[in-house]
Structure 1
Amino acid sequence: MSTRTQRGTGAAPKRVRSVTRENVLVAAEEVFVAKGYRGASINEIAAEAGYTIGALYSNFASKAQLFLAVTERRMLARGRRLEAALRGVHDRLPVTTVAEIVWAELQPEKAWTIAGYEFVAEAMRDDSLGPRLVELNDEARDIVRDVLVASMAGRPVPPLPLERMVTLTQCLINGIAATATYDLDLDLTESLADGLALMLDQSRSAPDVSLEAFRAGQEAAADQDMHDPHAR
C-alpha cells in the first residue's frame, strides 16, 4: 500500500469524527435549550444526534464536558460576529450603538441563560471543571476586550485600566442577561449603554472623594435632617 493511500485512509476517519462531533454539538445545544442542563440526558442527546451513546462518549467524556464544548462553540461564533460588526471602526461610536451591536450579535436566550446557570451551580462543586471554566472565561474576556478597544476609538483614554473595564463589562453583560430571564421589561440596550458610558465617557473634572470624606458627608447630612423639622 502506498504512503498516499495510507494517508488518505487515515484522513477519512478524522473527517467522520469531526462530522460526528459537530452533529453531537448541534443536537446537544437543542436539547440543553429545550430541557435545561439538569433536565437534559446523554440518552436524549445521543438520540437527537442519531448516534449511539458509545459514539457520543467517544467524543465527550461527560455531560459537563459536552456542555462546555457547546458553550465554547456558541461563544466563539458570536465573538466572530461581533468582531466582524466592529471591524474597521475608527470613529467614536455612541455607547447606545455599541450596546445594540453587542446584543444583536450575542443574542441572549432565556432558556440558554438558565441552562448556563444550572451548569455553573453544579460545576462549582466539581473542582475538575475549574481549569476548563477558566479557559472559557479567558476566551470570553478576549471577546469583551475587542469590543471595548473598538468602543474606545475616537475617545480619550479612559481613567480605568483596560483589564478592569473588561472585568466590569463582562459582569455587566452577564448580569443583564441573567436579570432579563425574569424582568421582561428590562431594556438590555439601555442598561449596557449606561454601564459603558460610565466607563468610557465619564468626566474626570469632578474631584476624587475618599471613603472617609464620603461617610463624613453622609453623617453631616443625616445630622442636619435630624434637626430640621421640614426634613421629616
Structure 2
Amino acid sequence: MSTETARPKRSRAATRERVLDGALAVFAERGFGRSTPEQICERAGFTRGAFYSNFGSMDEVFLALWQRQANALVERLRAAVDDVQVTAPAGTSVDRAFTATVVDGLSGLTADVSWHVLTAEFSAYAARRPEVAAVIVEHRAALRHALLPMIVRVLAAFGREPAVDEDTLGRSVVAVYDGAMSQAMIEPDDPTPRRLALELVAAIVWDRSRPVRGQ
C-alpha cells in the first residue's frame, strides 16, 4: 500500500473516532434521544459532512459506539484477568476467596456509571425497533463469547469449571451485572452498588460451577 493511499485511510479512521468521542460526550450529557448530529459534530469539531460521511443515522452511531465500548471492556477484562492474584487468607472459605479475587481484580471496571445509563436508555429504545434490537443481541452474544474464556480461567485457578452451558452462564453473568449496576445509575456516588455488582457476578459464577472432574 502506498503512503498516499494509507494516509487518507488513517485520516478517515481518526475522523470516525473523533465523531464517536463527540457522540459519547453528547449522549452522556443529553441522553441518546435528545442528541442530534449537529451537537455531535460541534463537540467533535467537525461539520455535518464528517458525520454523514461516516454514519448513516444516529442509530448507526450508537451501535458503533456500543461496539467500541464492548471491545474496550473485553480488553480491560483480559488485562484484569491476567493480573488477578488468587489469595486465600487463613480461615477464609474457598467461595469467599473466589469472591474476593473477583471483586479485587475487577473493581476498576465499574467506575464509569454513565455508560450504563446510556445502554439502559438505548436498550429501551431498541425494544421498539426490531432491526436495532437484532444488532444489539448480536453484539451482546459476541461479548458473552469473549467473556467466557476469562470466566473459565479464573474458575480454573480455584479448581473449578462451569457446570452449565456457556450461553446460560454468559447470560446469567450479564443479567446479574446489569441488574446490580442499575442501582449504581441512580446512586453514582455510592460505591456499594458497584461492589455488589461484582459480588453478585462472583456468586452466580460460583453457583453455576463445579469442581473440575477427575480432581
2:69 counterpart residue number: 74
Deviation at 1:179, TM superposition (A): 2.2
Structure 2 counterpart of 1:137 = 140
**2:61 is the alignment partner of 1:31:** no
Structure 2 counterpart of 1:19: 14
Aligned residues of 1:37 and 1:119 also touching (Cα < 8 A): yes
Which one-letter code corresponds to 2:177 in the other structure? Answer: I
Map of 1:46-195 to 2, 5 A cutoff?
46-87=41-82, 94-109=98-113, 111-153=114-156, 154-183=158-187, 186-195=192-201
Indicate the RMSD between aligned Cα atoms, in angstroms. Answer: 2.6
Q: CA offset at residue 15 of structure 1?
A: 1.4
Cα 1:169–1:17 shift into 2, 3 Å: same
User: 201, 206, 209: which is aligned to 1:200?
Assistant: 206
Q: Which amino acid aligns with 2:117?
A: I
> What is the CA distance between 1:90 and its match in structure 2?
8.6
Question: What is the CA distance between 1:91 and its match in structure 2?
Answer: 5.0
Displacement over 3 Å in runs of 4+: 88-93, 183-187, 201-204
In structure 1, the gaps of 5 or more residues are 205-232
Q: Residue 99 of structure 1 contacts residue 189 of structure 1 at CA under 8 Å; is this kept in 2?
A: yes
Query: Once the 2 structures are TM-superposed, how far is the Cα of residue 112 of structure 1 from its aligned partner?
Result: 2.6
Q: Counterparts of 1:119 and 1:203 in 2: how far apart (Å)?
A: 32
The worse-fitting range, judged by mean Cα deviation, of 8-17 and 178-187 is 178-187
> What residue ranges of structure 2 are gaps of 5+ in the alignment?
88-96, 211-215
After the TM superposition, which of the residue ranges 95-104 and 119-128 deviates more from structure 2? 95-104
- For residues 148-194 of structure 1, give each alpha carbon's deviation from its aligned partner in whole angstroms, at most 9, with x where no partner exists: 11221223334333332211011011111112222565433244324
Q: Number of matched residues?
A: 198
What code does the residue aligned with 1:135 have? E
Deviates more, 1:83-92 or 1:25-34: 83-92
